[in-house]
Amino acid sequence: MPSLSRPEARFAVDLVKQCCDLAVAVQSDTVGAFLEKEDRSPVTLADFSVQALVSHRLAEAFPEVPLMAEESTSQLRGAEGERFLERVAGYVRKFEPSANSVSVRRWIDRSQWHGGSSFWVLDPIDGTKGFLRGAQYVVALALVSNGVVEIAVLGCPRLSLKPATAPGSLATDPAEVGSLLFAVRGEGAWLTSLEDEDFLQLSVSNCEDPRHTVALRSFESGHTDESWFERVVKHMGIETDPILLDSQAKYAVLAGGYAGLHFRLISPSTPEYREKLWDVAAGALIVQEAGGRVTDLAGKELDYEAGFRLENNRGILASNGKLHEMALKSLQATK
């Protein structure tokens, strides 16, 4: 059984479970309600609702530890923004009776991190396009201290996951009962249902033959370099079909042993793009604690001390460890 003796770990697991209930409630009511950010990416009622609840709960429990999170209320201006915020407050109020549009705006904007060696990092709805399609998304929460991820939780409402008996056997159809994965540094990675706490320890695939492994990549073609991905797969001799998934659900699948490789390649249309901490931190620790390895595309360790973006890293390679060096060589040979 896992140890949840650290108060932050127990708190994070319980909070992410509650946030998954909140996200499911929003999705079942009105999956199509969203705004468009300046970068043209969507942000939903669920993004704001989950972030508000997490921010409020963390401020109550650990007021000295700041929160770094994706959303701000800068988009919620004017009459349309106020109406959107009222709807957010209505959902949050189901879990926190004191919520109103004023307090919710304050809770969301408390999440604008301004420095500090220890902080929480949140992606309230990682995989917003998956959320809007009724496909995969996750709630991702992690605690970072002195550049190291110490605690990680992934809530996956649409992914029913059990440790794999055979790579490639994963069914990615949306689940009635989702999964929660968490890790505490040095204590392994663990899996449970969102409805109980029957914990199972996770272990990555032990596959060493690239022909029989499974590779993961983003579902959205605009989030990756499809041509490079295909060249790498061919160069490595991977014979199985890839799994395309939104969000850090890919890290969950990798940690569960269903795949051996995850490539986060930079889209040719955005060559200067750098990963955000909230898109990586939780999933990376869970893969590592399940026995895998996570670096950038050049094999460098991820630098979590450069701000909210991984400025010193380019792209992500996550693996079962056994195929990592081979994948790095293929990336260099095919770029």
In the residue annotation, 128 being an active-site residue is answered as yes
For the chain, the maximum distance between any two Cα atoms, rounded to a whole number of angstroms, is 58
Catalytic residue, candidates 44, 128, 172, 192: 128
Inter-residue long-range contacts of 173-177, CB under 8 Å, 24+ positions, other chains counted: 174/134, 174/135, 174/136
For this structure, is 246 an active site residue? no
By C-alpha distance, which of 186, 205, 312, 191 is closest to 254?
205
Gap between the Cα atoms of 318 and 297, Å rounded:
9
What is the Cα–Cα distance from 126 to 128, expressed in whole angstroms? 6
In angstroms, the Cα distances linking 227 to 56, 108, 267, 334 are 43, 38, 10, 10
DSSP classification of residue 309:
B
Three-state DSSP state, 215: strand
- What is the spatial distance between Cα 270 and Cα 259, in angstroms, rounded to a whole number? 27
The Cα 263–Cα 276 span in angstroms is 16
Catalytic residue of the set 44, 47, 225, 295: 47
The set of catalytic residues is 47, 128
